[in-house]
Amino acid sequence: MAKNKKTKFITKDILKSSIIGSFQKLDPRYMIKNPVMFVVEIGCFITLLLTFVPTLFGGSEQYRIYNGIVTIILFVTVLFANFAESVAEGRGKAQAASLKKTKQDTKARKLLPDGTEQIINASELKKGDLVLVKAGELIPNDGEVIEGIASVDESAITGESAPVTREAGGDFSSVTGGTTVVSDWLKIKIVAEPGKSFLDKMISMVEGASRQKTPNEIALNTLLIVLTLIFLIVVVTLYPFASYLGVKIPISWAIALMVCLIPTTIGGLLSAIGIAGMDRVTRFNVIAMSGKAVEACGDVDTMILDKTGTITYGNRLAAEFYPVKGVEKEDLIDYSVMCSIMDTTPEGKSTVDLGKQMGCVLDERIADQMQFVEFTAQSKMSGVNLQDGTVVRKGAFEAMKIFVKEKGGNIPEDLQEIVTNISNLGGTPLVVCVNEKILGVIYLKDTVKPGLSERFERLREIGIKTIMCTGDNPLTAATIAKEAGVDGFIAECRPEDKITAIKKEQAEGKLVAMTGDGTNDAPALAQADVGLAMNSGTQAAKEAANMVDLDSDPTKILEVVEIGKQLLITRGSLTTFSIANDIAKYFAIIPAMFTMVLPQMQILNIMHLATPASAILSALIFNAIIIPGLIPVAMKGVKYKPMKAEKMLLRNMGIFGLGGIIVPFVGIKLIDLLVAPLLALIGM
């Protein structure tokens, strides 16, 4: 199971860099990217002018101190919003710093066309260059192993201390720059230009430098701008309306009113939520190539999963011995162990282990007296030849039938039934024979990973359909699918079948996620809305996907989807809370402002705030302190619980909608109790 990296919410270094960043982001050229907070900054500048020139815009000298207080609160509001974003970026930069330690300007052994070596800086390597990396040396850049086999320490990237094997060909030929060869040697073909390696992309994404706003984030940002414009118009039109009623509203009041009514809470936290969402994925050892990929995870409707290595362990292990009629089980066990003693595959080792558990006492030294016959794709069997001419074989049912018939033997009547029963159980039958006589069948079982059934049920609860892809026959596939608890399966699946399945789901308007590690998975990973490639996989797979799992754990797609859901829920919840806040602040300020002229509005002053001045100031102070109060929620995310969308909506409306109304009422009233006496002292 993947590990989530537990780190402190905020360290001294992050706090220091966040405070500095908060002031640096006050630059209007940066602030204009966040229109809501930009409006607050403009308001702060206007009240600052009114503090020094209170008679400006027809103001009064008596409001000089009040204008100064409003200026300070607005400044702190902007600062807190910048602080939230800086904290999110700081957590990412702290992680990027550890990645940069692995990025050194190392030396590389470049292989020239004439076969000689040239020692150059790794930064000088170009795509297509060949390099030789020996034990103890760093791999200079991303590449594909074209010759050799070696153990590679990837702990600098993945955090895992155990070295992994990398070799030419297959799905384990991809190597990452910054990792270390710990044994033997590798000849590598460089596949990335300088500055564009996987590690460079990781650092850039973690730092937030390449983070683009997602479609949902852009849509929400547009909504916030529209709401800001609406409330700006409301406040502007409120001015002549108040003058008609004989109420003179100071400029600082109008600015404070507007700041309290526009969605400053979510405006100040929106960017931080997006950065923190990517940060949570990164701390889970998954690198997202864009914020859009993380968000897409939250909208996934269908998940396509490989059986081997994802749903099952992939190692078929011996689970039982089934003799045919007329054969003693002990004889079947003895001969099964005998032809497996020299078999180093997981199947062979597990057969020997199971045989010993069942009482087989065969002396392993007899291996010296036998000739081992390895399994081949053509023969589909393996075994041993004894010195006395005896031939012992184990292999696939059809291949063994042909082998026995060629030797003049007969097929036992109950063999077909045993094989069918094992296949129906989702297992693999290995038929065992001695010369022309079939003794029985070894039942190899591909075990479903524990806990997957419950996790698939969780996905089902939130409306995500799971489809298993496998090369097994339909009977075996159906058995595994039932045991694992997936919603559907594709048996005898080829790479093109995965693409067909993805396109079919997408044609129905669904978002599809899938995992893969091989070159043959690359087209499907590119077609899927969320493609999670394994870091141990090929370069083609990693380039086609929009997320890479550094731990190479295919089941991690389940957690990644939940993180995506959490991101969307967090953004939705805090937006609900922010808008509910505005409603509460409206009821706090408007009645208090007009009570002196329209006593009838006193009935709406349900909080019984002392004066219009204290009401506005209290709401403004609450508006400022609620932003840092919600930073932990934005960083950690709203706790995610699998449930139907309708139930989730009602739950969040109850917690964040109702809470967003109640909290301001209580908070503003408490602040008013403190502020009113202080304002009375300065004659306000």
Q: Which residues are catalytic?
A: 306
| Rounded Cα gap, residues 338 and 137, in angstroms | 43
Name residues whose C-beta falls within 8 Å of residue 363's C-beta, 6 or more positions apart in sequence.
none
Q: Angle 264-283/198-207 helices, nearest 10 degrees? A: 150
Q: What is the DSSP letter of 183?
A: S
| Strands 530-534 and 512-516, bridge-based pairing | parallel
Residue type, 476: T
521 marked as part of a ligand binding site: yes
544 marked as part of a ligand binding site: no
Name residues whose C-beta falls within 8 Å of residue 655's C-beta, 6 or more positions apart in sequence.
573
Residue 656 — φ and ψ, nearest 5°?
-90, -30
Tokens of 105: 């300007």
Helix (H, G, I), strand (E, B) or coil at 232: helix
Closest CA to 439 of 319, 317, 341, 329: 329
379 marked as part of a ligand binding site: yes
Q: What is the DSSP letter of 375?
A: -
Kind and range of the H or E run holding 91: helix 64-100
| Strands 512-516 and 488-490, bridge-based pairing | unpaired
Sheet holding 547-549, edge to edge: 286-288, 547-549, 530-534, 512-516, 302-306, 465-469, 488-490
298 and 111 in contact (C-beta within 8 Å)?
no
Q: How far is CA 235 from CA 238, 253, 680, in A?
A: 5, 10, 26
| Rounded Cα gap, residues 541 and 489, in angstroms | 23
| Rounded Cα gap, residues 661 and 657, in angstroms | 7
Closest CA to 183 of 237, 117, 137, 235: 137
489 marked as part of a ligand binding site: no
| Rounded Cα gap, residues 466 and 512, in angstroms | 10
272 marked as part of a ligand binding site: no
Neighbours of 234 (CB within 10 A): 15
| Rounded Cα gap, residues 618 and 30, in angstroms | 29
| Rounded Cα gap, residues 264 and 40, in angstroms | 8
| Strands 317-323 and 488-490, bridge-based pairing | unpaired
Helix (H, G, I), strand (E, B) or coil at 303: strand
Closest CA to 589 of 357, 306, 278, 249: 249
394 marked as part of a ligand binding site: yes
407 marked as part of a ligand binding site: no
Residue type, 328: E
Residue type, 131: V
89 marked as part of a ligand binding site: no
Closest CA to 664 of 280, 391, 265: 265
Tokens of 677: 């006496």
Name residues whose C-beta falls within 8 Å of residue 31's C-beta, 6 or more positions apart in sequence.
25, 37, 38, 41, 78
516 and 309 in contact (C-beta within 8 Å)?
no
| Rounded Cα gap, residues 380 and 396, in angstroms | 6
549 marked as part of a ligand binding site: no
Residues annotated within the binding site for ATP are: 343, 347, 375-382, 394
Residues annotated within the binding site for Mg(2+) are: 517, 521
Residues annotated within the binding site are: 343, 347, 375-382, 394, 517, 521
